[in-house]
Each structure stands twice: as structure tokens, then as C-alpha cells.
Amino acid sequence: MKIIMLGAPGAGKGTQAKQIAKEYDIPHVSTGDIFRANMKNGTELGNKAKEYMDAGKLVPDELTISMLLDRISQEDCGKGYVLDGFPRTIPQAESLKEALSKRNEAIDYAIDIEVPDEVIEERMTGRRSCPSCGATYHLVFNPSSREGVCDACGAALVQRADDQPETVKKRLAVYHEQTKPLIDYYEREGVLKCIDGTQKPEDVFAAITEVLK
């Protein structure tokens, strides 16, 4: 079972990807994790990626796909995998399709976690984290006992730069411009499944497992 997770930043696709991986005993394959593993292990691909990243440039699609194919060729991906964070654009999706077809493989499901922008903005801008122990909170959904103070260690909570309102709006704009067209692409491919991501996480997961039966 080869699955791609789609959805805007903050839609919860990473959380659901991990749940799917656990439920179906298949790896959760994140491009960020692949980059870090290749660079940590000093692989040829990892060293090339590091050169681009150190120069503040985007890693070319060709290099990203090479690392991805290397990862999904490993033994633990024999039963399938959940891709999280890739593809992000139509050219990446087309390159992935071409590379998989050479192996007589194809994506089985593209699961889109649908959440309106205003809900995502509330979710992300309300997040607070502890710089000391890493605990996370939300002003509305999971507040700390004392406002602005970590329950676990007593340190002052902060709002990450990624969760600032202007940053969230910019990330959503990039998503709509570059990544949302993937929804139409995978619908044409006949593998798109849309899930209401405004539900409780456990209900979102139940809806996903229903689709995957």
C-alpha cells in the first residue's frame, strides 16, 4: 500500500501519516527525515543536498527523488509506505510517477486532509511551545494551567516564528499556489481520497481507515 499525504501546513497530515504507518506496519517516509539521514550518514546524495542547503538554495527535484527512491527501495518498504512532505509540486508528482512506473509500481492512494484556511490559522497561531523542555500547548485547545508558563518545567512559553500570523498566511499562500494543484492531479489519476480534517484526530483517522479498507 503506497500512500501520499496531502493537505495544507497545520492540517494534521503528519500526525495521521504516523498513525497510518503504525496501524498498517509500513514506514512513515518524510523527506525531511530522508535529508537528515543522508546528511548524517555522509552519503553522496546527502553531501550534494547539503551543498545546496548550505548555500540557501532549494534541493533540486532530481536529487530529492533520488534520495526518496533510495529510501523506498529499502527492505522495510516492501509492504508499502506513507509519503509525507513529497511531492509538493506537479513536476515532482510527474517525476515520482515516472520513476515508480520504471519499477512497475504506482501510488495507490493520495489522501487529502481538508481544513479551511481560517481553521488552520487558528490552530497554528494559537500554538505555544516550551524552549526548555519542548512541551507544546495551544491557547484554545490545550492551554497551560498558568497563562504563558510551561506546566512541565515552569519556563516561559514562546510562539515559534513558523506560527506567527504573517508567516502562517505566507505558508498557506505558497501551499495554494504550488501544492494544491496536486489535488486535481491525483483526482485525474483516480487515487484521490478527501477526508474532513476539521474533526477530532481520532475521527479523521477512522475516516482514513474506512477509505483504506
**Catalytic amino acids?**
13, 88, 127, 160, 171
55 by DSSP, 3-state: which? coil
Phi-psi region of 48 (alpha: psi -120 to 50; beta: other; left: phi over 0): alpha
Pairing of strands 109-114, 136-138: unpaired
Kindly provide the b/e burial profile for residues 58-70, where b requires at least 16 CB atoms within 10 angstroms of the residue's own CB: ebebebbbbbbee
Q: How far is CA 204 from CA 15, 83, 192, in A?
A: 10, 18, 16
Amino acid sitting at position 103: R
